[in-house]
Amino acid sequence: MASNLRILVAAIDFGTTYPGWAFSFKHEYDADPTQVYAKRWIGGHLVSEKAPTIVLIKPDGKTLDSFGYEAETKYAELASEGNFHHEKWYYFRRFKMMLHERLGLTRKIQLEDETNKKTLPAKTVFSLAIRYLKDDMLTTSRGRLTGDEIRENEITWVLTVPAIWNDAAKQFMREAAVEAGIMNENLKIALEPETASIYCRLLPVEKMAEGAGVCSLKPGSKYMVLDAGGGTVDITVHEVMLGGKLKELHKASGGAWGGTQVDEAYKQFLIGLVGNPVFQRFCNEHKDDHLDMCRDFEVKKRDIAPYKDTTVTIRIPSSLKEIFQDETGEDLLDAIRQTGYAEKVSLMRDKLRVDASVMKDLFMKAIQETVSHLKELMKDTHLCGISSILMVGGFSDSKMLQNAVRSEFPSLRIIVPQEAGLVVLKGAVVFGHSPSSIAQRVCKYTYGVGTTHEFDALKHDKSKIKQYDIGPRCEDIFEKHVEIGQVVTLYETQSQTTYFPIQNDQKKIAFPIYYSTKKSPMYTTDEGVMKIGKIIVDILDMSVPLRKREFIVSMTFSGTEIEVSAKEIRTGRITKVSVDFLG
């Protein structure tokens, strides 16, 4: 078996609520690209293709004890032992959103655990989680291959991220994966709505839960991909090209409107019934009962639909009622009758019976945010002619969300694949086998580097003049390399600019990288221009004159990550330059 042949593609979908892994061998992909193996996880009464994003780390702060449902259960058991022994452990859940919400992300960023009393380096937590998923996948895949052992350099790894994430978050995930033992050169970063779109293009109509398949769309057809996950809603627009490849028509957009907003609404509903002090004490003192309530709701919410008016029954642990009695001196049943839910919520022994309308209301905030954003996108003249909306991601399985999208856009085909929560993961495997499936993308921002220009009194600000060995220069120039909204083609270099040092003793050329939502900023100090990273080009020969130390810096923005190379003009030497977005 040739050691340089990639015989296996493995993908990790690090979801906010439910991460998972999948893989396929090359011979399986060649026979049928849709034949992808994904693990099924079991937790209590839940059976899922993904485990919850939960990590339990031992008190040493370095060793992973357990992951997913197992970590969830063990931490609840530790808490039930009393003596606050569990507080010595590190328990993290739904921590992926930290990368979406955080501005100024660095390698040293700390992550608070569930107690809000302890922190660990975020890189450690992410890396331990990725390592667990990687090792679990390798154990399963090796069991399916007879004969030769799979070597690390024979595996292509794909790690999915939301398309709306910034460059620093992507780099953070890459570095965490490398720390987890994945070879950097074997790792690809894939964008979640893109992988879903790629996979659904391969699915026959009979594998669609709702609507016709996107496989039937002809060249020139335009469709919107709505990737509604646990944490984020990620939206992009694709056009089918000749030959079946896809072209992005609009830069990725979206927000934190995923299914976790429904969970938060449920939490606020319970707090509205029992009060925040009671609820917090219940969560802290009876984590096992709280866990059972959360898992019970996870099952119930999957069955909530706009056309169902059946009362929903929720089991209320006796511990919650006892804490309520202890804190307030009241009976919970009597207290509910005094709330705004008196006509729609009742308590019978340990069963809370909730009117269907109350449960449906839990979905409204997330749905309204999503639909409102879709309506704004549809106003864009560049998106005229969209015929379909492809709904993927775990939250897209919700009949509540499906109905809202269908009602708002009655003239469009709403396409929902079977197991919508898995298509991102399985599509990532397909992407690993065929990374050129997305032939063109749209730039999210105007990108440029900070540099100096020869001073021109007619156009430059006099306050920015500075004297260098090479002469007077204008500082803080925004040297544009690519423009917001620009369509870029895969594997094509989007910009090539010549640079040279400006000081005689300069051994490196350092370029700060900036982005802007404006098309053509003049200075890096302009409003709306933000520094996001840097690149450094080494100067190897200091003996030649300044003007002879020229480099052509080439930047490519058409992939899922920015790529930079520098060519020394005098020698022709080309080096790949790493971009540092994490400071």
Report the 10 Å Cβ neighbour count for 140: 14
Task: State the Cα–Cα distance between residues 231 and 255, nearest whole angstrom.
Answer: 9
**C-alpha–C-alpha distance, residues 155 and 6, integer Å:** 5
Using CA atoms, how far residue 290 sits from 57, 85, 115, in Å, is: 21, 18, 15
> Residue 443: what residue type?
C
CATH of 8-191, one of 3.30.420.40, 1.10.10.10, 3.40.920.10, 3.50.90.10: 3.30.420.40
Per-residue pLDDT of the chain (583 residues; tens, 9 = 90+): 344 578 899 999 888 788 889 999 999 999 999 999 987 765 444 455 556 889 999 999 999 999 988 999 899 888 887 666 788 999 999 888 888 766 678 999 999 998 888 999 999 999 999 999 999 898 887 776 655 677 888 899 999 999 999 999 999 999 999 999 999 999 999 999 999 999 998 886 555 555 556 777 889 999 999 999 988 999 999 999 988 899 999 989 999 999 999 999 999 999 999 999 999 999 988 988 998 999 889 888 889 999 999 999 999 999 999 999 999 999 999 999 888 888 899 998 889 999 999 999 999 999 999 999 999 999 988 888 999 999 999 899 999 999 999 999 999 999 999 888 889 999 999 999 999 999 999 999 999 999 999 999 999 999 999 999 888 999 999 999 999 999 999 989 999 999 988 888 888 888 899 999 999 999 999 999 999 999 998 887 888 888 788 899 999 999 999 999 999 898 898 989 889 999 7
Q: Phi and psi dihedrals of 98, rounded to 5? A: -60, -35
The pLDDT of residue 538 is 87
Residue range 120-155, pLDDT digits in tens:
999 999 999 999 999 989 888 777 665 567 788 889
- Domain 443-580: give its CATH architecture: Sandwich (2.60)
* Separation CA 501–CA 510 (nearest Å): 9
**CA–CA dist 398, 89 (Å, integer):** 35
Contact 75, 91 (CB under 8 A): yes
pLDDT of residue 103: 67
Q: What is the structure's pLDDT at 460?
A: 93
Report the pLDDT value the prediction gives residue 216, as an integer from 0 to 100.
74
**Per-domain residue ranges of the chain:** 8-191, 260-361, 443-580
- pTM to 2 decimals? 0.89
Closest CA relative to residue 90, chosen from 123, 136, 54: 54
Question: For residue 53, what pLDDT is reported?
Answer: 87
Answer for the pair 91, 71: CB distance below 8 angstroms, yes or no. yes
Q: DSSP readout, 199-247? A: HHTTS-GGGEEES--GGGPPTT-EEEEEEE-SS-EEEEEEEEPTTS-EE
